Structure 1
Amino acid sequence: MYVLIIGGGKVGFNLACALAQDQEEVTVIERDRAALEKFKELPQVKAVQGDGTDPRLLEHLGITRARVVAAVTGSDVDNLTAALLAKRQFGVPRVVARVNNLKNEWLFTRARGVDFAANGARIIAQVMQEELSLGELVTLLKLEGGEISLVEEEVASASRAVGKRLAELNLPGEIVLAAILREGKIVIPRGETRLAAGDKVLALAYSEHARVLEKILA
């Protein structure tokens, strides 16, 4: 699967690391040459200096075969521009954009080419699982320092959690449920919420506790 990341700062680097570990084909575009130095640690990732809003460069780097484009620069203008190009001009199936200033969040819509928008507090792309085979339990993005991850786990039909209230699962305090994706809709998790087979549970968890959620929902 080919993923094009626009922005090689901290978010872009962490995203590239996570995807490279799962052997996805990744290209990163970053304006700042100095910021590209750290990508020497990731020889499997192609890092290119350039403007991620330049359609000629995007085409040269094969955006037409990308399944996912993640615009994660520190500029909302650049992220919106890149998203619009990716979706409207090149027809990329899934476009994820980072929102830096929450006052601009209303601009990040499907009409402007953004399939999913996220800021640092809510993390970047809960949708990678849909387009990338990263395993049953997916560490979608490593957060500050890599200690906490946003993870997604699907409730198996044979899981003992099916039909149970969340309060009955006795999840450790190190796991915080963020949302439940059910038949295309988002369900806010509460103690009385009952899980159904096929639910996708999004949670914040310390890395060492991520597997606990997998075992409970499998």
Structure 2
Amino acid sequence: MRVIICGAGQVGFGIARHLAAEGNDVTVVDRSSELIQRINNTLDVRALVGHGSHPQVLEDAGAEGADILIAVTASDEVNMVACQVALSLFSVPKRIARIRDQKYLEKEWKDLFSRDELPVDVIISPERAVADQVMRRLEIPGAYDTASFGEKNIQFLAINLDENCPVLETPLKQLTDLFPDLQATVIAVKRDGNLFVPKSDDLMMAGDSAFLVTASEDCDRTMTIFGHEEQEARNLIIVGGGNIGHHVARQLEKNGVRNSVRLIENREIRARNIAESLSESTVLLGSGLEPDILAEAGVRDAEILLALTNDDQVNLLTTMLARNEGCERALCLINNTSFLPLGQSIGLDISINPRAITVSSVLQHIRKGHVLSVHTIEDGEAEIIEAEVLETSAFVGQKLRQLNLPDTMRIGAIYRNGEVMMPRGNFEFKVGDRIVLFVLTDAVNDAENFFSVGLEYF
């Protein structure tokens, strides 16, 4: 597949790294010579210095024969024009644009993005996606990563196991005997930095990270069985009144649960506008780096602080201050994964990587087969893929034990006609089933082929 990526920032770099690792023909375009040099030094892709929406630059990038253009520059307008040029001059079949300004996405302008107007096939709204992820983390406080599949009837959970986990040193095959009605599957384990698909005789150890897929109705029970009974926070502080922080505050007001929410924003006009849009939250003008402001927000009594600014360093320092003042838990946005060890050392409970969320949003629209959703985990080491079984798929009419899936894959759940089903050996797949599959990144191409072609392909 030939792909052009306009934008070599963190998101563009992440997408290029993923697609290049899978053997795709990738070209990256950016105006910054420094970012392009970084791409050339680290990735096996073509990289050009130039304006992503300029016809000559796109022609030099190979737009004439490209399959997909992905526009993820810092400018919404450049992204939109790049998609227009890609279709009008080069007939690029599929065009994806990142749109950050929420005003473009309001219902009254819904006809703006169409083939006859601005031909954007897929719109990626990172701020909204990140805010939704924050809300999911608040709903399942014991998990450090989550994702929903099967029309929100299936939940992916990533949890850390400590000495208090009741099922430590229990062979995985015994979990079904111990909890026969529990709809949950352990799809992967990370131990000492190594991510792998466990075998039925494997044990889980203290210090492991466990990755599970469970029916949403069994989520709380699954968390308890694996040693997590944290309660959902009701007393919260949000630092950062950008699109993400504002969206989270509005969602907390809309969810029908009485929460105590204080939002801290350091821009006066922005703080005033947010205050006018919220009815039940308190907005404070100031910085999360000011101890007096945190004290005024009630940091000592807060159950969780959400550091949601666009600055990783501000988020980490705010988290450190809050924990030192007695805040129970903290969640913050971290774009640069090299900061993660620092976050863990200062007591950061949960981190969210906006770049990874945006990359996941893009990948689900470029995977082969009828892929409905993609969630990347562990900084791109693996993916959770939800895909529909097609008539040509290797799954059709096969029982699970007949598939002989490689050690790089594990089916977590199946969604059929509104019902969640667990993958047992005698389960037989049908056309239209939606399968939630864990796959290590190196095996993504094989997983795509399982969904799109018959067994004779192999």
Give the TM-score taking structure 1 as reference length. 0.68
Q: Distance in 1 between matches of 2:2 and 2:80?
A: 21
- Give CA deviations for 1:53-93 in whole Å, capped at 9, x if unaligned: 11011112221100111111121100000000001221011
Highest RCO, 1 vs 2 (Cα 8 Å, sep ≥ 6): 1
Aligned-partner SS, 1:110: coil
**Partner of 2:221 in structure 1?**
none
Greater Cα shift, 7-16 or 99-108:
99-108
The CA distance in 2 between the partners of 1:17 and 1:144, in whole Å, is 14
Counterpart residue number, 2:119: 113
The structure 1 residue matched to 2:388, chosen from 132, 143, 154, is 154
Aligned counterparts, 1:65-80, within 5 A: 65-80=65-80
* Aligned-residue offset at 1:14: 0.9
- In the alignment, what sits opposite 2:62? 62
Moved more, 156-165 or 26-35: 156-165
Question: Structure 1 153/77 Cα, relative in aligned 2: closer, same or farther at 3 Å?
Answer: same
Match of 1:3 in 2: 3
User: Aligned to 1:28, what secondary structure does the other structure show?
Assistant: strand
Matches within 5 A, 1:135-214: 142=376, 145-146=379-380, 149=383, 151-155=385-389, 156-158=395-397, 161=414, 163=416, 165-169=418-422, 197-198=431-432
- Cα-to-partner distance string for 1:169-206 (whole Å, 9 max, x where unaligned): 38xxxxxxxxxxxxxxxxxxxxxxxx961456678x79
Gaps of 5+ in 1: 171-194
CA distance, structure 2, for counterparts of residue 59 and residue 166 of structure 1: 48
Partner SS, residue 96 of structure 1 = strand
Q: Which amino acid aligns with 2:366?
A: M
In the alignment, the residues of structure 1 paired with residue 125 and residue 421 of structure 2 have an alpha-carbon distance, to the nearest angstrom, of: 31
Measure the CA separation in 2 of the matches of 1:202 and 1:79.
Answer: 32
- Which is higher, the Rg of structure 1 or of structure 2? 2
Report the Cα distance in structure 2 between the residues aligned to 1:93 and 1:46, rounded to whole angstroms. Answer: 20
Instruction: Tell me the amino acid that sits aligned with residue 154 of structure 1.
Output: E
**Structure 1 residues 196, 206: CA separation in 2 closer, same or farther (over 3 Å shift)?**
closer
Pairwise CA RMSD: 3.7
Give the drift of 1:165: 4.3
Q: Distance in 1 between matches of 2:372 and 2:430?
A: 19
SS in 2 for 1:129: coil
DSSP-derived class of the 1:89 partner: helix
Alpha carbons of structure 1 residues 64 and 140: separation in structure 2 relative to 1, 3 Å: farther
The 10-residue stretch of structure 1 (146-155 or 100-109) with the greater mean CA deviation from structure 2: 146-155
Structure 1 match to 2:35: 35
TM-score where L is the length of structure 2 = 0.35
* Percent of paired sites with the same residue: 30
In the TM superposition, residue 148 of structure 1 has moved relative to its aligned partner by: 7.6
Q: Against the structure 1 CA distance between its residues 141 and 17, is the aligned structure 2 distance closer, same or farther, given a 3 Å change threshold?
A: farther
User: Would the alpha carbon gap of residues 57 and 207 (structure 1) be closer, same or farther in structure 2, given more than 3 Å must change?
Assistant: same
**Structure 1 position 159, deviation (Å):** 5.6
Distance (Å, rounded) in 2 between the aligned partners of 1:80 and 1:33? 22
Contact 1:152–1:201 (8 Å) recurs in 2: yes
Once the two structures are TM-superposed, the CA of residue 138 in structure 1 deviates from its matched residue by 10
In the alignment, the residues of structure 1 paired with residue 422 and residue 375 of structure 2 have an alpha-carbon distance, to the nearest angstrom, of 25
1-structure distance, mates of 2:125, 2:377: 12
Secondary structure of the equivalent of 2:367?
helix
Residue 81 and residue 207 in structure 1: after superposition, are their counterparts in 2 closer, same or farther (change >3 A)?
same
Q: Distance in 2 between matches of 1:84 and 1:143?
A: 33
